[in-house]
Structure 1
């Protein structure tokens, strides 16, 4: 991490040297040279840090040297950025035009040279100590092949989804039998065991078991976690047992806990339900939820996973907890073999005796914990079975073991230490998110870029580089996918508790992260990242920082949605702040002083109650992401957007129209969601040359052709979203044919008829029609879009029959049919959609069966059925004609009760349905 810290400082020094202002100030004539010399010194030192970072845990002397160097690098960053802030403040006030009139105001700037000179001397002393204490020699001895070999193993991890499970079949069957026992009383069945032992994995297998699906007509799965929020858990259950509209979601967010409890009771009262409470820690957490689950003697069940046996015993003293133990030696060995050589090794018979010995030692050090075995096995997957490679992994684990780390801790620590520096910083950023928090990829990527963790690679866009970094962490089993888009992009993610613990431990050490909770001590003067997870009188914010202001770079609030009193925020003391996240906070006003945070790059106000933005917002010249998707119906927005020259992403809900907004100066803007058509037309859209995604509310039909004409020239615009309220349909959309660069199109709102095939964007590959309620079958038109690969129809068609002609949709890979209220039959002609990989059908209550032609589709990998009536599932389950022999695995999702409006049911091992081959899209 010291290497990463120094790299960031070098980048800042380089940027500072090219600023013209610093060259123009006569008082600072020596500063550019001093900055250049400091930069050169840091580059020289950086060469040693790669090896020092790896060995600082092995040798206290190296650890102390790295720590001093990291502190000096951070001090350099503070001096540089403080200087930049002061320069920008003077420039804003016009003081730099006549320097002789303001000598006192500029006196502080003269100190920057002395400060840099002092830091440079400190760096030189640290550099000399490297030679004095023989650190060079130690580092030279440490650069053995062990670390390099393991790094190569990490880089070689294949990009496939892990589906290998060992020793769970018997456990699954036993728990399923408990769930289905003929006892009408509601009971709690619990799975207990240490972190990483596979409690959630086992619970999922039970939850998705075909017999369980056939028994319960209502199911929900919620994460509870250490910081239990009863309100969030209850809202999560309601969302799964009943589909929510935009308005009802907002109503839920405002409901008190008692009202939510009554609502859950009402929803479950007449259902045979199964609710999984995953990762519940405290007895009090159960007590806060128990009353929501009615006992109506119909065989309903609750499944609970916990690390502590006292919790499930408290919940139901008549039900004996199922204790999940660590894997035995042979099961652990078999899991390791599957993870390490899934495609080339079926048994240890293909391994040499020495390799078996090394492999079994690796498994032994993993302590029988599936998470540890999976992580280290993934490192070795796809590699040749060379003793040197396996030995390097064993040596690394042994090294960590000797430093006091045992079992899974040794595995995870070694996995972290062998990440490249850029991936280390990205992984440590997960420490800021609460346990079990589902992280939107959009948010994560924007924050990485704002923090300067992502660097340009040639012409590649930073957001794409960040997405690649996330993929790498997922492929290494350090981050878990939660949801993916239709084309396999990660939509949200999370980290396992043990991995988060590791990230928090490291981030506190190397990033000076402070997570403030009710029992926490106050942040130190070195704190650079502050996460506030609770609001209490002990944190006198911001008064607590008046005498010792930490150099915060990020200030993030979590878990404060239930706080009723409004916050009075002040940020003026945090001049170096880059990331400010106020999501879900109960605030209605953003203070004017926000404009003084001249280095701010990320500002999130999502789901606040802010009604207006201050004029000073225009001072945030470095702002890259502005998220103001608030609860208020319309935000009063001053006409200052045009000043934010570095803005890359703007998320709005609605803005008042009192002042026309000008933003055509924003040449870096990539995302603009959602703006009114008139507002957009009022700008020179052709100047927004970086635009990639655009969302537009269509108000007046007369100007839509102007929109298409303007955006047709934007070569980077690949994603267009068109929305319209009310019963009045969209105007003519024939102008879409001019959009030669658009590949993704979403139309939301009433459509009287589709444009003809030649009036769609010629390169269109993704199409989503939502709430269009077309009267005529759209397939005869859409099947002629030769490049179409993903098609989503949600409440898009009011007819009874969908017909796909023979040999049509040659490139379609994903087809989603949702909320088609009158649909009865789907017909597919011979040879149609030959590339179909995924079919999803949801809330189409009158569809009796799926087309017979699907069984001939060799490319089909996944079939999802969600919120469909019981007769559909029953018929699908019993049809011999649906048996598929060319694929090994099958997944079907759906619900059995047509009265239900929510809840995902996943059935595995339907030998007569459809398939998955383990792709990332599954």
Structure 2
């Protein structure tokens, strides 16, 4: 990581020095020397990347360089922000008034840069003392050799499971045994052996779904929160509502246990407890699972054989062995070459390939990760031999083969991807990470290097794809167009990120009440809150990122001293209970990302206008957030997320050339601004009501050439709003309409390809009109139509690829004419309770690849036509509410054979 992280920091410093050369001209000599010293240091760091794992002295030396580089960046950025504050947008008299302060700050930065120069000289002189005096001289490192241009791979479902067929049948049979008592069926094995993958396969099995009318899945993990585990199971067994969430949040452990016990006591249930680390965790949970002669089962996975034996002494745990030689080879081929079944390996690669597969020791995780690495290489024997040789080197340093493979895969990452991967270690174990949020954080960190015409967010999204293609992250949720919406990190890979980062004091995770905040921490993730009001004690670490996770159950408002955060770039307080932000928040001038989602904050202080570097502001709260007229001052702002922004006067936003996303703005605020000046605006969400003149709004937005997505929120019930004028929006390709409309707009943007209708409560069948939108490829309708019939004509929807019908409660028939929907790839029907059957014409749509049925009535599922089922490659059925599962056993058994033959079942809730 030495070359990766520090080189990025040094590169940013050099850019800063150039950018602020006008401000720094009076200390030009010191600045030039600082830049030269840092560039010189970077040359030596290229070799330190490889050698620091071998020698603690080198790690110490690298740590000194890193601290100096970070301090240099902080000094220059803080100075630049102060000078901008003194001079930008000020009149002549004000500038003259501030001139003495500018001179004082120039003197101070000169002294600080001079001090940094002396410090770098001492670090350079200490190389001989640390025994690294020849560092970097004429050596070509393995890291340089491995860092080649990467190629992306397409997203697809991971179907590369091998060797689990017999095991799956055995475990399913164990779950189906005739035994009225509650039994525990267990899978044990080392990390990376595939326990979770196998458990999913069993959980999704058709016979299992037919047997148990009540199911849930929860990941326990090594640092589990007992109350959160109980809440997670309860949520899967009940219809989710605001009232339920509020009640669960207030419940203590004993109350939650009692509630879960009551939910399960008369059910034949199956609950998966994935990744249980110790007996204490089982003992805490076991009380909530009734044993009342209903043939219920618990499926448990653990690394510790003692846990399942403790849970059920009469049930022998299945010990998941490593893959055999042939299964390992087949999985290796799929991952390293992207081959399917029965595909061979090029003859010149087979020998070295089999040796690499053998070194993986039969561990699916190891094979998957090393395969992802090889997939980025040229298919040359010399390339594969380099990987094998590097693997041998890492193996000599590591305790196990899987550790060596993970180390090698990390070493192969380019510098920016190493930083991105390490940053993932800040998130809790098994945490579902929003990719959008992650991208904004990476951009705020300055990791992205702009390439060609791409914007920074596109580059960051590409890097997410690269980590996925290398199997360094797992996709938790995909979008319709097969982009990663959220992701997870396997616990072994997370442990690698934490180990690498902590070795070099890169970040700190605060996850026990006894943890002390290190005075050297630059990146801090808080996973547990102290009751102590003085959270940081006497420590004032030079934090750049401060992230809070899973602390929404904390009973009191927390307060943070802004004086401790002068160097902070990222502050994420999502779900943290707090009254209001400190008035001095504007003093954190380097802040680039501020997450205040679900914090109950209702007002932003006036000092916000000083945050000129702020890029992302997320204030999506239940209540309206009052904002004074300072947004126009946030010249670096790229994304502003809000549900509803309130103000006493029209908000000025014009001139924000970097703004890409803007939501929660009122119609009047939009109309008071010259929107053409927002030259980067791509996504816009507007609150409209019956006073909003939509035709004028569309004319107002028609010249915003960058605008692609428009979301109109109708803010009042029973408001029949006219939406005339949408045809003027030639640049808009995605339109979202939310709120009661009763009738469709008279026109639409001419280049519209994506349309979402939510709570529109249309009276007439919208399909005849929507079918005429020639470029429409995506249509989503939720509580959008109150009629009983939809008719899809053969004359329309020629480009439609995705169709979702969600919560159309009165819909009982879908009529699809012959030849209609010729391009349809995915049809999703969710909670349409009156629908009697699927349209017959579906079986003739050859392009249909996926049919997803979510929360549909079980008699609808049991009545599926066998011919139709067999004609769809992927039919996914999932139930997420208790009411949809209660009579599953009685109504679906007769059709289990048909469904087993053609349905790919998904779990009711993905592991969390």
Same structural fold, with TM-score higher than 0.5 when normalized by the shorter chain: yes
2:844 pairs, out of 848, 852, 856, with 856
- For each residue in 1:799-819, what CA deviation from the matched residue of structure 2 results, as whole angstroms up to 9, or x when unmatched? 222111114311111111111
Q: Sort the Cα spacing of 1:746 and 1:72 in 2 relative to 1 into closer, same or farther, 3 A.
A: same
Paired position in structure 2 for 1:821:
809
Say yes or no: does 1:532 pair with 2:522.
no
Distance 1:339 1:529 in 2: 34
Asked whether the equivalents of residues 34 and 116 of structure 1 are also in contact (C-alpha less than 8 Å), the reply is: no
Paired position in structure 2 for 1:558:
549
Bigger CA drift: 827-836 or 66-75? Answer: 66-75
Distance 1:789 1:580 in 2: 38
Q: Secondary structure at the match of 1:697?
A: strand
Asked whether the equivalents of residues 728 and 749 of structure 2 are also in contact (C-alpha less than 8 Å), the reply is: yes
Asked whether the equivalents of residues 152 and 469 of structure 2 are also in contact (C-alpha less than 8 Å), the reply is: no
Q: CA deviation at 1:328?
A: 2.6
Asked whether the equivalents of residues 83 and 112 of structure 1 are also in contact (C-alpha less than 8 Å), the reply is: no
2:641 pairs, out of 651, 654, 668, with 651
2:605 pairs, out of 614, 628, 638, with 614
Q: Secondary structure at the match of 2:196?
A: helix
Paired position in structure 2 for 1:782:
770
Paired position in structure 1 for 2:108:
108
Paired position in structure 2 for 1:543:
537
2:796 pairs, out of 791, 808, 811, with 808
Say yes or no: does 1:135 pair with 2:135.
yes
Distance 1:915 1:895 in 2: 14
Q: CA deviation at 1:343?
A: 2.6
Q: Sort the Cα spacing of 1:838 and 1:148 in 2 relative to 1 into closer, same or farther, 3 A.
A: farther
Distance 1:908 1:606 in 2: 47
Q: Sort the Cα spacing of 1:702 and 1:78 in 2 relative to 1 into closer, same or farther, 3 A.
A: closer
1:293-332 equivalent positions in 2, closer than 5 A: 293-332=289-328
1:747 pairs, out of 737, 741, 764, with 737
- For each residue in 1:343-395, what CA deviation from the matched residue of structure 2 results, as whole angstroms up to 9, or x when unmatched? 378366x554x854433332232122110011112333487764323222211
Paired position in structure 2 for 1:899:
883
1:250-269 equivalent positions in 2, closer than 5 A: 252-269=248-265
Distance 1:102 1:720 in 2: 44
Distance 2:697 2:295 in 1: 58
Say yes or no: does 1:594 pair with 2:578.
no
Bigger CA drift: 450-459 or 282-291? Answer: 282-291
Asked whether the equivalents of residues 869 and 899 of structure 2 are also in contact (C-alpha less than 8 Å), the reply is: no
- TM-score after normalising by structure 1: 0.89
Q: CA deviation at 1:114?
A: 1.7
Paired position in structure 2 for 1:226:
222
Paired position in structure 1 for 2:169:
173
Asked whether the equivalents of residues 861 and 915 of structure 1 are also in contact (C-alpha less than 8 Å), the reply is: no
Q: Sort the Cα spacing of 1:641 and 1:136 in 2 relative to 1 into closer, same or farther, 3 A.
A: closer
Q: Secondary structure at the match of 1:178?
A: helix
Bigger CA drift: 602-611 or 247-256? Answer: 247-256
- For each residue in 1:146-202, what CA deviation from the matched residue of structure 2 results, as whole angstroms up to 9, or x when unmatched? x66755596476655432111111111111112222233333322222211111101
Q: CA deviation at 1:86?
A: 5.2
Asked whether the equivalents of residues 156 and 383 of structure 1 are also in contact (C-alpha less than 8 Å), the reply is: no
Distance 2:783 2:80 in 1: 53
Q: Secondary structure at the match of 1:524?
A: coil
Say yes or no: does 1:400 pair with 2:388.
no
- For each residue in 1:722-759, what CA deviation from the matched residue of structure 2 results, as whole angstroms up to 9, or x when unmatched? 22244313411121111111111111111211124xx1
Q: Sort the Cα spacing of 1:418 and 1:691 in 2 relative to 1 into closer, same or farther, 3 A.
A: same
- TM-score after normalising by structure 2: 0.90
Paired position in structure 2 for 1:919:
none
Say yes or no: does 1:879 pair with 2:866.
yes
- For each residue in 1:106-141, what CA deviation from the matched residue of structure 2 results, as whole angstroms up to 9, or x when unmatched? 65344134224325535764799999833345624x
Distance 1:59 1:271 in 2: 59
Distance 2:759 2:527 in 1: 39
Q: Secondary structure at the match of 1:188?
A: strand
Q: Secondary structure at the match of 2:693?
A: helix
2:822 pairs, out of 834, 844, 867, with 834
Q: Secondary structure at the match of 2:745?
A: coil
Q: Sort the Cα spacing of 1:566 and 1:539 in 2 relative to 1 into closer, same or farther, 3 A.
A: closer
Paired position in structure 2 for 1:844:
832
Distance 1:539 1:500 in 2: 30
Paired position in structure 2 for 1:695:
685
Point out where structure 1 has 5 or more consecutive residues left out of the alignment: 917-922
Distance 1:344 1:277 in 2: 32
Bigger CA drift: 191-200 or 522-531? Answer: 522-531
Point out where structure 2 has 5 or more consecutive residues left out of the alignment: 906-912
- For each residue in 1:770-822, what CA deviation from the matched residue of structure 2 results, as whole angstroms up to 9, or x when unmatched? 11122221111111111111111111112222111114311111111111112
Say yes or no: does 1:11 pair with 2:2.
no
- For each residue in 1:500-544, what CA deviation from the matched residue of structure 2 results, as whole angstroms up to 9, or x when unmatched? 011111122346211123265533332211122222368942332
RMSD over aligned Cα, in angstroms? 3.3
Distance 1:170 1:869 in 2: 33
1:287-436 equivalent positions in 2, closer than 5 A: 287-343=283-339, 346=342, 352=347, 355-381=349-375, 386-436=380-430
Asked whether the equivalents of residues 858 and 884 of structure 2 are also in contact (C-alpha less than 8 Å), the reply is: no
